[in-house]
Chains A and B, each alone.
Chain A
């Protein structure tokens, strides 16, 4: 088999050297009762060509060549060619966690750059070397706030991604951490500050909001910060669309930022692998979960990097660790680093501006449901028929429409969440607009009503 680099004669030599006459003898010490006495019921190994074909066949059973207007936490952005070029290098792809700094300076240096760029992007002082994804970064941030404040309650906005909230509930249930949700204003689609005030108390460790929120709307981060801080709670700001930070003011009032970097050249890949981040203020540095790379010198005085503050982590502090996390999404974070490098200071802004333009073009002919300012996603009410029906119609034109919101927000069952990025084509957006405008029901299209 091509992955097993031993010839039969070498195997024989080695068995002999081990004082064993057959490979089976290597396992003869295992208790009879535990041994599997039949072959695994899996088909024999297949060739490279057949493997490629298998996955091509699976891909053919998926959407192919569709224009996609889904966002909702996962975004279709162009992946610069350099990203795969860099991460495909064996030295990055097949290397291990950089515990041995002398032979891992490549990984360590790029993580240090990553940490820096995340700080620059989010306006925070410290960023870790990535979490599994945005959804798990949220409970990790909540637990961090718990450690930092000595409190254990959390309040979270309903406008935070619904699946992220689900993950928080799963984690919080077993931490003795009560979680309460607060609502949004039906006019603007932004958080209901009064509801937040009501739900907050002196036992609250953190207030969690998302901006742009799940509806795509830039939310009231500053106001939420004021309210939270007045009660001694920390503010955690979540983001799912990293490109928005190219143009939006970063959440300077946040104590902790928890986000998802999938937009930065990470393939949507049906839900993962992605890379989350946690970024925070200097004073919470020692509460941060996950790996941290720090700058130092080697014995010759040359600048070098190494994993540091490891005593927070599971392999040392064990049950008192800041988290049980072992992995960081190093290769995925490297994709994001290359993306950020390729676009750079100007490019990220231009990219964000294009996203803004595309989504606002789409929204011009489809009335957004909410009046709040939005980045590249917005909610629209579908008049006259269920959102699913519109999507069925669009599929015939090879377009995947927006996300019908009924599954997450029963009160918005007649709405869908639409996303347009730099990859959305004008012609496709026109088709979507046409499909949504209720010409079929005999009513006048929205733009003419406005006049």
Chain B
């Protein structure tokens, strides 16, 4: 029985261009206090455009209604849980939004004189210091704009370090359980990728690692806990194996929500890692971004960090541009400052003890879900999980139902699906991460829904296979969308 949601009338809405009509306005500019200028004279006739063809013209009321109606078609954290594994969809504190809009911060121009940007620099210095303490590393760059960007920066740092030692080497080892950005990043950084198979228990196989690490290997990219939500308890030995052959250990920090205050990557052998502020540090996903992907390194890699670096000049902050070993810039200006502000607000709100408590609750929630769903869904790996748990659809495939179908049916119960079919080492994976900001009631709803669906798979598999049934949009035709891509509106 579905108790969490009820069908409800939602407004239809056309595209802006279909609502548009010449002469409608949603703006008013002030009168010019200087003489107008003839564009053709100032820019050259050939440089002036006649108009922007097809650009919409709507009124303010229509604009507000348009976007408001659209918004009601979305699910969001504010509505309920997202059990998406490795995404860490935790509550986005509203105070983050308020402080990011503080005028002196929001309107700060990146080129305003340092003397008038001390507040921004202090914020960045605080974030660096907090991340150093949390990760146990020695230095941080805040420049990368997102996780994948941080990964690229990290691998480039490794390359620069190895290059200075004489040989940048050729390959990066990546476990078959890794997120897709890992091999994509390695390729962009000019390395070839060698996949290393996980052990039968889903963790790093030290034997395989030992055999795979040679003088051509620059680094191993690892996620810890891994994408099964299991802590890589061999991580320190793995680090030693790599270091013995002159290679480095890169950690994808996507799963830091299991570690904050409990264990620090810098303490267990990691040389360089990135963090996802939009995961662990609560900055909003906003439908797909922005994020921020700071990179933390051990001392040996510090000279190679992107330029500029913050440094203390007496009582003030200043930028250091003279860093001859730096890999250069990975982005214009200093980083996604607005996202850093939000992350700092989160850190300030929790504080040291609070951050640890959040981790405890995150793990408790995931273990609670595991315990209740174990009787109904196959657990491919039996190790203790941390902040996320991965099931497989093995039992349900007997009835011809796959993880993707179960995920769609979950929508009818009022939830966003979990992560489907990832990691690849589990056939038909269901990857579930509740995060710490879910209470018992929401978790129980989720558990009840998953159990109910498991029962539906036995009694009425078709119901699950054709889900969702309650949404205003039913399953979309992704095949035609890919065969005949229509990527923009055109007038009839």
The answer to whether A175 and B262 have CB atoms under 8 Å apart is: no
The answer to whether A267 and B104 have CB atoms under 8 Å apart is: no
Could you tell me the distance between the alpha carbons of A61 and B179 in the complex, rounded to whole angstroms? 41
The answer to whether B91 and A105 have CB atoms under 8 Å apart is: no
Which B residues lie within 8 Å of A397 (CB)?
none
- Within the complex, the shortest CB–CB distance from A390 to chain B, in Å, comes to 13
Beta-carbon nearest neighbor of B115 in chain A = A395
- Within the complex, the shortest CB–CB distance from B227 to chain A, in Å, comes to 12
The answer to whether A357 and B188 have CB atoms under 8 Å apart is: no
Contact (A90, B78) CB under 8 Å given A48-B95, A174-B190, A292-B485: yes
Residue in A11, A45, A103 whose beta carbon sits within 8 Å of that of B471 in the complex: A103
Tell me if A198 is interfacial: C-beta within 8 Å of chain B. no
Which A residues lie within 8 Å of B292 (CB)?
273
B-contacting residues, A322-338, CB 8 Å: 323-332, 334, 338
- Within the complex, the shortest CB–CB distance from A328 to chain B, in Å, comes to 5
Which B residues lie within 8 Å of A112 (CB)?
15, 487-489
A35-B262, A96-B288 given; name 16 further pairs at CB < 8 Å.
A3-B349, A29-B384, A31-B233, A39-B356, A82-B64, A88-B97, A94-B76, A116-B54, A271-B336, A299-B474, A324-B188, A326-B181, A341-B66, A347-B25, A400-B116, A426-B34
Which B residues lie within 8 Å of A45 (CB)?
348-351, 353-354
A-facing mask of B75-95, CB < 8 A → 1, else 0?
Answer: 111110010100101111101
Beta-carbon nearest neighbor of B415 in chain A = A103
Tell me if B2 is interfacial: C-beta within 8 Å of chain A. no
B-facing mask of A77-107, CB < 8 A → 1, else 0?
Answer: 0001010111111111111111011111111
Which A residues lie within 8 Å of B76 (CB)?
90-95
B-contacting residues, A41-91, CB 8 Å: 41-46, 48, 50-52, 54-64, 66, 68, 70, 72-74, 76, 80, 82, 84-91
The answer to whether A338 and B332 have CB atoms under 8 Å apart is: no
Contact (A351, B29) CB under 8 Å given A17-B368, A308-B485, A395-B113: yes
B-facing mask of A116-136, CB < 8 A → 1, else 0?
Answer: 110111000111011011111
Give the residue among A130, A166, A169 with the most B Cβ atoms within 10 A: A166
The answer to whether B348 and A10 have CB atoms under 8 Å apart is: no
Subset of 5 A-B contacts with CB under 8 Å = A74-B109, A74-B110, A96-B287, A102-B468, A174-B190
- Within the complex, the shortest CB–CB distance from B468 to chain A, in Å, comes to 5
The answer to whether B70 and A110 have CB atoms under 8 Å apart is: yes
> What is the number of residues of chain A that contact chain B, defined by CB distance less than 8 Å?
199
Tell me if B364 is interfacial: C-beta within 8 Å of chain A. yes
Contact (A62, B289) CB under 8 Å given A18-B368, A271-B332: no
The answer to whether B148 and A327 have CB atoms under 8 Å apart is: yes
- Within the complex, the shortest CB–CB distance from B13 to chain A, in Å, comes to 8
Which A residues lie within 8 Å of B70 (CB)?
105-106, 109-110
Residue in A20, A341, A358 whose beta carbon sits within 8 Å of that of B56 in the complex: A341
The answer to whether B26 and A56 have CB atoms under 8 Å apart is: no
Tell me if B357 is interfacial: C-beta within 8 Å of chain A. yes
Which A residues lie within 8 Å of B159 (CB)?
174
The answer to whether A5 and B25 have CB atoms under 8 Å apart is: no
Which B residues lie within 8 Å of A27 (CB)?
262, 363
Contact (A272, B72) CB under 8 Å given A26-B364, A318-B180: no
The answer to whether A349 and B52 have CB atoms under 8 Å apart is: yes
The answer to whether B352 and A59 have CB atoms under 8 Å apart is: no
The answer to whether B268 and A270 have CB atoms under 8 Å apart is: no
Tell me if A434 is interfacial: C-beta within 8 Å of chain B. no
Could you tell me the distance between the alpha carbons of A119 and B80 in the complex, rounded to whole angstroms? 35
Could you tell me the distance between the alpha carbons of A132 and B380 in the complex, rounded to whole angstroms? 37
Which A residues lie within 8 Å of B185 (CB)?
324
Tell me if A15 is interfacial: C-beta within 8 Å of chain B. yes
The answer to whether A46 and B349 have CB atoms under 8 Å apart is: yes
The answer to whether A344 and B55 have CB atoms under 8 Å apart is: yes
Which B residues lie within 8 Å of A346 (CB)?
25, 57
A-facing mask of B167-195, CB < 8 A → 1, else 0?
Answer: 00000000000011101111111100100
The answer to whether B75 and A95 have CB atoms under 8 Å apart is: yes
The answer to whether A314 and B180 have CB atoms under 8 Å apart is: yes
The answer to whether B416 and A100 have CB atoms under 8 Å apart is: yes
The answer to whether A357 and B43 have CB atoms under 8 Å apart is: no
The answer to whether B43 and A167 have CB atoms under 8 Å apart is: no
The answer to whether A4 and B358 have CB atoms under 8 Å apart is: yes
Contact (A329, B68) CB under 8 Å given A96-B84, A344-B27: no
Could you tell me the distance between the alpha carbons of A69 and B84 in the complex, rounded to whole angstroms? 45
Tell me if B99 is interfacial: C-beta within 8 Å of chain A. yes
- The segment out of A149-157, A228-236, A247-255, A437-445 that lies at the interface is A247-255
Tell me if B37 is interfacial: C-beta within 8 Å of chain A. yes
Tell me if B49 is interfacial: C-beta within 8 Å of chain A. yes
Tell me if B331 is interfacial: C-beta within 8 Å of chain A. yes
